[in-house]
Structure 1
């Protein structure tokens, strides 16, 4: 068995990123470990935030339950965070079916404070 355990994500302002990942996506900040701020995504996966300016923008896709999807959509609208139905769209369009590791799923795309391209899907 192989699973992804954690990912180091370079961010320019860890406090702003923690607020974003907790407030918008509902992830849990677990504290500091060495140079990293640890954000729990799921039981078996963390984002380890490193306070360094990003050298490139990454794409991260999170599979969520339908209720979680709706909560994130509500947060995006309330916070006026641009989103869209594909990786290039930020027009506020309706989430669209997109392919991923588990096949076709309804997806919404948006960016974190550093411009990393995020996707939620169910």
Structure 2
């Protein structure tokens, strides 16, 4: 079996503020952003890769998630963090954007294992709702 990550859902308190953060600070392009702003889509997303997105779902939507997934108690489960891998140039540019937007890097790592092997450097920071994001690069 060859599986790929399709999407990840993050619970957010302000979908537009989160969309701006993921687009402007992290640098991920919005998906259905205009449709969301026009009231034609229930939530916006941001694209990680051609195959993966992050959905920015409002906390209020948690009430209907159990029914939608058919799994009782599935709404609002926390995750430790999500990790994005980028090229080294994008890694360095992200650190500049984080500083410009006054987003604190809460931790750093070196030589940590991930899906593509050992990453020489990684940084951790929180989005506006406290979701922890790790960004790393591979040589």
Is 1:63 matched up with 2:85? yes
TM-score, structure 1 as length reference:
0.82
Partner of 1:89: none
TM-score, structure 2 as length reference:
0.73
Q: Which structure shows the bigger proportion of residues in strand conformation?
A: 1
Give the 5 Å matches for 1:1-122: 1-31=2-32, 32=36, 34-52=41-59, 55=76, 56=78, 58-86=80-108, 96-105=110-119, 106-122=121-137
Structure 1 residue 11: Cα displacement? 0.5
Larger Rg: 2
**Bigger Cα displacement from structure 2, 9-18 vs 75-84:** 75-84
- Structure 1 stretches of at least 4 aligned residues deviating more than 3 Å after TM superposition: 53-58
Q: Which structure shows the bigger proportion of residues in helix conformation?
A: 2
Aligned-partner Cα distance in 2 for 1:101–1:66: 16
**Bigger Cα displacement from structure 2, 69-78 vs 98-107:** 98-107
RMSD of aligned residue pairs (Cα, Å): 2.0
Indicate conservation of the 8 Å contact 1:38/1:47, yes or no: yes
